[in-house]
Amino acid sequence: MNCGRFCFCGLAHAVLLSALGMAAAQQLPPAEPPQPIPGSRGDAPTLRVTTNEVLVPTLVEKRGGGILYGLKPSDFVLEDNGVAQKIRVQEEMDTAPVALIVAVEEGGVSALEFDKLAKLGPLLDLFLSDGRSQAALVGFDSSPHLIRDYTHSSEDIGEALKRLEPGNGGDAILDTVSYAVDLLESQPKEYRRVLLLVSEERDHGSKHTKPAQLVQKIGRSDVLVLSISFSPSRAELLHDVKDSGEDRTMNMISTLMMAVQAFKKNAAKEVAQMSGGEYTTFTGDKRFEQRVVDAAKHVRNRYLITFSPSDPKPGLHTIRVKTAQDYGARIVARDNYWLQQEQ
């Protein structure tokens, strides 16, 4: 997220030196830029964030499904590095148009899932139904590439999905997420930026993006990542649903190190959780379709919580969101953000 939306970037120099290590690694080649969304104005006003506010889109899902509506600021507790913050909650749910990147794996074993991906097109109407939202398609194996530029038409994306070709053995998730974030951040400020990532769980072959670099990039971005993975991991998924944040550390360095290690285990899951998005898995066709339907529904049914950090210390800040009363609800919100060193 750029400084006009969130003024976050960078970790304290000492942490960067120890965690990034090889930060001088070569950069990912420039993304093939999609054309700007027709008729949009990049300087259009937006109420989403100001330069000194953190935006925390928050999903509150009732036990057994369904969104818990009607919550007020007093119904939420948000902690920044363990300290409760004064928050604001936008009265309406997110009504902004969506700029969507659909990133699908073409490498590795993904060819076995092409029949499911071919059916994805009509489901994208759930993201594009307002007539203003648009989607673009990115494919990746050992490197990402733009398959279809931004379009209002889910049919255009659907046709491209039916023509996927198997790639090499690579599964460069880190490079692809970095690439997609760059593409999304080139779009107008008033658009909700969403990455729908369909891939294996683990990264294989990213050459330009280190885990710690992506932690930083996601931390300063407002891109919401929805990850749907091929391989089931039920034990981990059940843990994610039950985890209320109690076991998360507030230590800046250890949190970063834990995130880096988590990327090695399951990159798709970690990048989604860091962004405040969702991670899930599928096996059969119906399960895949339901996962996409749920993801689309949840994009627009998030409370938009904002706050100005009471301690604007540069670097990694850990966030925890909960409800003041125990509604037995599942809460999904971003885990952390990066605050920029003032110049």
DSSP string, 55-84: EEEEEEE-TTS-B-----GGGEEEEETTEE
Question: Does residue 94 sit within a domain?
Answer: yes
Which pLDDT band, with edges at 50, 70 and 90, does 238 fall under? very low
Question: Does residue 52 sit within a domain?
Answer: yes
Confidence (pLDDT) at 254: 60
Judging by DSSP bridges, how do beta strands 278-281 and 330-332 pair with one another?
unpaired
CA-based radius of gyration for the chain:
19
Closest among 301, 287, 320 to 83, alpha carbons compared:
320
Which residues are paired to 166 by β-bridges? none
The answer to whether 139 touches 145, Cβ cutoff 8 Å, is: yes
C-alpha distances out from residue 236 to 133, 219, 233, 322, Å: 33, 23, 6, 21
Provide the CB-side half-sphere exposure for 296 (13 A, CA): 22
Confidence (pLDDT) at 328: 86
Between these two residues, 247 and 197, which has the higher pLDDT value? 197
Percent of the chain with pLDDT over 90: 32
Say if pTM beats, i.e. exceeds, 0.95.
no
Question: Does residue 58 sit within a domain?
Answer: yes
Number of domains in the chain: 1
Residue-range definition of the domain harbouring residue 139: 13-24+48-339
Question: Does residue 31 sit within a domain?
Answer: no
Which pLDDT band, with edges at 50, 70 and 90, does 73 fall under? very high
Between these two residues, 293 and 153, which has the higher pLDDT value? 153
**CATH code for the domain in which residue 168 is found:** 3.40.50.410
C-alpha distances out from residue 73 to 77, 199, 274, Å: 8, 36, 23
pLDDT for residue 273 is more than 50: yes
Question: Does residue 41 sit within a domain?
Answer: no
Question: Does residue 7 sit within a domain?
Answer: no
Which residues are paired to 199 by β-bridges? 229
Which pLDDT band, with edges at 50, 70 and 90, does 94 fall under? low
Closest among 181, 175, 23 to 105, alpha carbons compared:
175
Start-to-end CA distance of the chain, whole Å, equals 18
Percent of the chain with pLDDT over 70: 72
Question: Does residue 249 sit within a domain?
Answer: yes
Question: Does residue 179 sit within a domain?
Answer: yes
